[in-house]
């Protein structure tokens, strides 16, 4: 039976940010991070869908980076509160 690995949200956001910022293939980024490419693809699609639903327009790469930065800041703020 295959064990499902849970990753922290911070790791997911950072992985997507790295993929978006770097001019490398998704599979290369995933390999560098030690995760399956399908996992990284799923995270990317999830966060991009969140951005699309928030904007209702076709988001740009810059939009994705800004949303990721906001999410990272929110996570840092919540960690400080804890």
DSSP secondary structure string for all residues of 37-73: HHHHHHHHHHHHHHHHHHHSS---HHHHHHHHHHHHH
- For the record, the structure tokens of 62 come out as 């810059």
Please report whether residue 59 resides in a domain.
yes
Whether the CA torsion 79, 64, 55, 52 is positive or negative: it is negative
Determine the pLDDT at residue 55: 62
Determine the pLDDT at residue 58: 66
Please report whether residue 14 resides in a domain.
yes
35 secondary structure, DSSP code: S
Cβ distance 11 to 29 under 8 Å?
Answer: no
Determine the pLDDT at residue 56: 64
pLDDT tens-digit profile, the chain (82 residues): 566 678 998 899 889 989 988 888 999 999 999 999 999 999 999 988 877 776 666 667 777 888 888 899 999 999 898 8
The number of distinct structural domains making up the chain is 1
Please report whether residue 4 resides in a domain.
no
Please report whether residue 1 resides in a domain.
no
Please report whether residue 3 resides in a domain.
no
Question: Which range of residues forms the domain containing residue 72?
Answer: 9-81
Q: Alpha carbon of 13 to those of 1, 2, 3, 37: distances in Å?
A: 28, 24, 22, 15
């Amino acid at each position: 039976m295959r064990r499902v690995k849970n990753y922290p949200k911070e790791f997911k956001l950072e992985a997507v940010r790295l993929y978006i910022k770097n001019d490398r293939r998704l599979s290369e980024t995933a390999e560098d991070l030690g995760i399956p490419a399908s996992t990284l693809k799923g995270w990317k699609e999830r966060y991009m869908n969140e951005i699309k639903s928030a904007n209702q327009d076709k988001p740009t790469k810059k939009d994705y980076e800004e949303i990721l930065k906001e999410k990272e800041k929110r996570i840092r703020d919540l960690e400080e509160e804890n």
